[in-house]
Structure formats: C-alpha cells, structure tokens
A and B are shown apart, each in its own frame.
Chain A
Amino acid sequence: MTMQEPKSFASSDSSENGLFKVALPTRYNFDRIFVIATWAATLFGLVVLAVLSIDVLVDGLPRLNWSFLISYPSRRPSIAGILSPLIGSIWLLVVTALIAFPLGVGAAIFLEEYSTDNWFTRLIEINIANLAAVPSIIYGLLGLQVFVRWMLPITAGRSILSGALTLTLLILPIIIVASREALRTVPSSLRQAGYALGATRWQVIREHVFPLALPGILTGTILALSRAIGETAPLIVIGALTFITFLPPISPKGLQSPFTALPIQIFDWVSRPQAAFHNNAAAGIIVLMLLLLLMNATAILLRNKFQQSR
C-alpha cells in the first residue's frame, strides 16, 4: 500500500462518490429537528397539565363556595356538597397514617438497623419491589376478602377501618423504601459514638438515629399519604358508598361506620349524565387537588428544612 498525498486523498474519487461525504449541514438539520422534538415532548406534559387545570377551574370555580363545602351530597346537583366525602377522606387519611407510619418505619428500622444481608431480608426486599408493581385494584380485592369479609367482627364490613387498612397495605412499600433511604443518610459515626458510650442498639436508634432521620421519613410518609388520598379504585371495590348524609362519630365507633371519600364522590358525579353534576365534580376536583398541593408543599418544606440542617 502506498502513501497518498493528503491533497490527492481529499480530492480522490471516493469523496466524490459519497463514501467520505460528511454531509454536515443535513445532519445538523436533523439534529435541530431532534432537539425541537425532545423539547416539544417535554412541554407536552406541562401543556396537558395546564389545559387540565384551566378546564377544571373554569367548570368548577363557579360552583365552589362555602355551602358546597358544608352540604351533604344530594340528588339535586344545585344543593349537593362534599361535606361527608371531605370528612371521610380526612378520616381515611388520619387512620391510614396512624397505622401505616409505625408499621412502615418499624419495618424500615428492622431492615436498615437490625438485620444483616440474609435470605429473610432479601425475601422482604423482593416482596416490596413486587408489591409496588401490583395494580391498586388488586389491593381492593384483597381488602374485600380479608378486611370486609374475614375480619367482619372487627371492621364491621365496608367501613372506614377496612378502607384505611387497605390503603395502608397499598402505601406501605412506599413508606418503607423512603424511610430506609432516610435512615441510610444518618452517618454511621453517630451510631458508633452511641455504642462507644455503652448505649444499646435500640437506645441509639431511639435517641439519635430516628430523630435525625425523622424529616426524611415524614417527607416520604406524606408523599405516600397523598397517593392514598387520591386512590379511588380499591375503595370502590371495598364498597365505599356515594350517598352518605351523616358524619361518623369521633370515637372508635366511627371507625366502623360506612364511608365515602372525595375521589369516590367525584367518580359518582362524573358518571352521571347531567352537566350540573359534572360541574360539581370539577369543584370537588379543585378541593381534592388543593388538599394534595397542601400535602406536597408540606413535604417539600420538610425536605428543604432537612437539607439545610445538614
């Protein structure tokens, strides 16, 4: 093989018949189209979000007033309100939080602080990963069979307690994963210092690790709860009612009363043919979204506070 002159190489046949043609302008044009496509795709989600919000606000705002908040659902759309669904959602939220928080944090502490890497831990980890991918309506079937039917004497059937227990199982994996991450960010030197002073494992966790991880754990829990508050399908399967005109008493007896929730009421109103009910649904959606925004804002505030203190 003989060396060619650079000049003759540049003007050789191969460049003219296209083998070495770099065609940069064309390729750059494709690049530009590609960039525009990716930006369009990214903005698409935001545009949908904007259209959705505007549509809901336009339909729902005229309907949203104080009497809408403090009236019970009714067959007449003009006087129907969301008092019982709103209170029902708050009941579910509180009860779910009271059950799910200790369960999730306890499980996370066990996995992160006590257990070593053995078959038991791995079994639980695989389980949690799998549970995250189970459709939520399947949890509804589980709740229907286990909480509504088998545990009838305790839960009194289709009750707030059954709903809260089902939602607990649904969000437990999220809380466990978030709590484990929060626990992992606590430096291990802190634990070593505790042990060096003669504290037991539980004392170190209780007095040092847990308080430091708490903001992170709370953030995760609030986000999980905001998922629970929007869940509709499992509650429908369990048998939430859509026409409740009383408030559950604030006592253990209240746990056993039948329930409804904001998403259930919205679903009911959307499914009706009359446009007036659709506007009620939009107003209900505004309240639900405000509730969610409030919870998310709390979570973000907690996260920011946590990040600053470290």
Chain B
Amino acid sequence: MTTNPSSTEQINRDLFRPNRQLNKWVELVVKTIFALFALVSVATTIGIVLTLIFETFAFFSEIPIWRFLTDTQWTPRFFNPQYGIFVLISATLLTSTIAISVALPVGLLSAICLSEYAPAKIRRWLKPALEILAGVPTVVFGYFALLLVTPFLQKIIPGLQGFNALSAGLVLGVSIIPLVASLSEDAIYAVPRSLREGAYALGATKRETIVGVVLPSALSGIVASFVLAISRAVGETMIVAIAAGQNPTLGLNPFVPVMTMTAYIVQASLGDTPAGSLAYRTLFAVGMTLFLITLALNIFSFWFVRRFREKYE
C-alpha cells in the first residue's frame, strides 16, 4: 500500500480508518482501573492478615504465648492480669454447640421439606420467608434472646441466670437456620432424579429414598453447609454479646453468663482502649484466634467438598 495513491483513494482510506489512538488509551486506562478495583479484595485479605499478625506479635512480645494458652482465667483489666484464651474459647464452643444442635436438624429437615415435599407453589412463598429470617440484623436477635427467650426459659429452668449461654445459643441457632436450609437444599436439589427412581424401583418408600440415597449423595454439600454454619456461629457477635453476658468463666455450664471471643472484642471496644496499649493488643490476639479457627473450618470445608464430591455425569 505504499505506492503513490491518488487523492481520492487517500480520502477514502482516511474515512474508513478513524483515529483509534484515543480509544486505545481509554481502553488501557479503563482496564487498569478496573483491575485495581478487583485487587481491592486481595488487598483486604492481605490487610486483615497483616493487621492481625502485626499486633498479635506485639502482644506476644509482652505476654508469652504459653501464658495465653495455659492461664485459667481471662482478666486482662485486673491488677494482676491473666490471659487464658481457653476461657473465651470454651464459651464460644459452648454457644456454638448449642446453636449447631438447633440449626443442623431444623435446617436440614426444612431443606428436605423444601426440596422434596413442598409443592412448587408453597415453596415459592417459603423460600423468601426464610430469606427474611436470614436478613434480620443480629442485634434484633440479641434483643429477642435477652428479653423474650431468657424470661421464657427461666420459667422452665429455675436456676437460669439473666445472662446465659443457653438462650444466646438457641437464638444463635435460629439465626443460622436459613443458611443451613438454603445451602443444603441446593445440594439436595442437585441429586439427579434417576437415583431417586432407582431407589423407588427397589421398593423403598419416599423417606427411605431420602435418608438412604438422596442425603448420602448430597453429603458433601450438606457437610459444607454445616461447616459454614459452625463458622458463622463461632464468628457471630451481637447475639452472644447481648444475651450471653460478659463474664469470662472457664467451663461448659450453659446456665451461667459466659464471655465469648467476639463478646470480649465488643466489650473491650466499648471501653476506650488507647491505641498501642496492651489492652488494645489483646483485641487483635483474640481476633487472630477467632480468624484462625474460622479459617481452619473453611479450609476443612473446601477440602471435604473436593474430596467427597459426587460427580454426576
């Protein structure tokens, strides 16, 4: 195309070759900016990890790690402070266990109902209703636990104190039912029809088919939803901060006030903790413990799903 073109050809070529330089620049700029936006999520993760590690190291340079693990009391504000993290972990374990023992059976059964028994019409109404339950702020559940569930339980259980792990755990369980139900339902719904029909052909009833064939086939998804629910129960804050009390006691008695890891973070944040002080650093040491526990649960969930996922077709 380097041979001398006539003037009309030149004009035509210019007409059909608009100047694209600007567009290329815009394209590059837009792509770079959006890539940077996408990097914000990575930066968040790095930020979380770095913040926690940085302040936790500062904490352990003052308090040896074995004291953190072996002290039997959690009294960071006392004159002779003790930092036994297991006091907080035991409370978290207690509330989470109560919550899970409510949420797992109820959540799984409603998942079965939604997926196997409920007619399509009713299902269309039930699912959004459960979504509303999932959207209720946890501070509202805290109100519910402290001012309705606890007085109710006190009529049944005489020795129950005003703040206790039991009602906090029960309401915490209710708050994670929708999570278990909707994730388990997805897993149950994905089991192919042919498996169910095979079971019917062998003479199994509907319940036997569900319990013996459908649930085992959906096991990886169901377990993943359970683990996610446990991780949510461990990290949940407002319900336990309001209803479980602020009393760090070691032990697994559900009738007395306890203090979970998250409740400690709330309590310490409410009192003005000057930045850089030891009290400030305990926040991050506890946060790190919480983060590691939920991370371990999530990694386990990923691993389990990968290892045990049933592949259909």
B34 near A42: Cβ-Cβ < 8 Å: no
Contact A233 to B143, CB < 8 A, known contacts A41-B109, A288-B137: no
Say which one of B3-11, B46-54, B63-71 lies at the interface with A. Answer: B46-54
- Number of residue pairs spanning A and B whose beta carbons lie under 8 angstroms apart: 252
- Is A45 in contact with chain B by the CB < 8 A criterion? yes
> Which DSSP category, helix, strand, loop or mixed, fits chain B's interface?
helix
- Is A257 in contact with chain B by the CB < 8 A criterion? no
B233 to chain A: closest CB distance in Å? 10
Contact A131 to B140, CB < 8 A, known contacts A45-B129, A45-B133, A200-B23: no
- Is B105 in contact with chain A by the CB < 8 A criterion? yes
User: Hey, which chain B residues are within 8 Å of A145, CB to CB?
Assistant: 51, 54-55, 284
Q: Which residue of A lies closest to B125 (CB)?
A: A46
Q: Which residue of B lies closest to A103 (CB)?
A: B37
Sort chain B's interface into a size bin: 35 or more
B48 near A124: Cβ-Cβ < 8 Å: no
Say which one of B74-82, B193-201, B265-273 lies at the interface with A. Answer: B265-273
Q: Given the complex of chains A and B, what is the CA–CA distance between A201 and B130 in angstroms?
A: 41
- Is B207 in contact with chain A by the CB < 8 A criterion? yes
Contact A42 to B137, CB < 8 A, known contacts A141-B52, A267-B142: no
B287 to chain A: closest CB distance in Å? 5
- Is A9 in contact with chain B by the CB < 8 A criterion? no
- Is A130 in contact with chain B by the CB < 8 A criterion? yes
B234 near A233: Cβ-Cβ < 8 Å: no
A232 near B34: Cβ-Cβ < 8 Å: no
A49 near B132: Cβ-Cβ < 8 Å: yes
- Is B177 in contact with chain A by the CB < 8 A criterion? yes
- Is A34 in contact with chain B by the CB < 8 A criterion? yes
Q: Given the complex of chains A and B, what is the CA–CA distance between A200 and B142 in angstroms?
A: 53
A230 near B138: Cβ-Cβ < 8 Å: yes
- Is A137 in contact with chain B by the CB < 8 A criterion? yes
- Is B157 in contact with chain A by the CB < 8 A criterion? no
- Is A95 in contact with chain B by the CB < 8 A criterion? no
B262 near A41: Cβ-Cβ < 8 Å: no
Contact indicator per residue, chain B 221-255, by CB within 8 Å of chain A (1) or not (0)? 00000001001101111100110000000000000
A236 near B266: Cβ-Cβ < 8 Å: yes
A233 near B148: Cβ-Cβ < 8 Å: no
Give chain B interface residues in 154-174, CB to chain A under 8 Å. 174
A39 near B117: Cβ-Cβ < 8 Å: yes
Q: Which residue of B lies closest to A227 (CB)?
A: B135
> Which DSSP category, helix, strand, loop or mixed, fits chain A's interface?
helix
Say which one of A71-79, A106-114, A246-254 lies at the interface with B. Answer: A106-114
Per a CB cutoff under 8 Å, which of A44, A114, A135, A266 touches B262?
Answer: A135
B55 near A42: Cβ-Cβ < 8 Å: no
A40 to chain B: closest CB distance in Å? 8
A41 near B113: Cβ-Cβ < 8 Å: yes
User: Hey, which chain B residues are within 8 Å of A40, CB to CB?
Assistant: 109
Sort chain A's interface into a size bin: 35 or more
Contact A285 to B237, CB < 8 A, known contacts A45-B110, A127-B41: no
User: Hey, which chain B residues are within 8 Å of A127, CB to CB?
Assistant: 41-42, 44-45
Q: Which residue of B lies closest to A269 (CB)?
A: B143
User: Hey, which chain B residues are within 8 Å of A282, CB to CB?
Assistant: 143
- Is A281 in contact with chain B by the CB < 8 A criterion? yes
Give chain A interface residues in 13-35, CB to chain B under 8 Å. 22, 27-28, 30-31, 34-35
> B: which residues have CB within 8 A of A?
23, 26-27, 30-31, 33-35, 37-42, 44-45, 47-48, 51-52, 54-55, 105-110, 112-114, 116-118, 126, 129-130, 132-133, 135-144, 146-148, 174, 177-178, 181, 203, 205-208, 210-211, 228, 231-232, 234-238, 241-242, 262, 265-266, 269-270, 275, 283-284, 287, 290-291, 294, 298
22 A–B contacts, CB within 8 A, in A order: A27-B207, A34-B207, A45-B181, A107-B34, A123-B42, A135-B231, A138-B287, A141-B48, A144-B283, A146-B47, A203-B23, A226-B135, A230-B136, A233-B138, A236-B269, A263-B137, A266-B143, A267-B139, A271-B242, A278-B147, A285-B143, A296-B135
Question: Sorted from nearest, which 9 A-B pairs have the closest CB atoms?
Answer: A135-B235, A230-B137, A41-B109, A110-B34, A38-B113, A106-B37, A233-B237, A107-B38, A42-B110
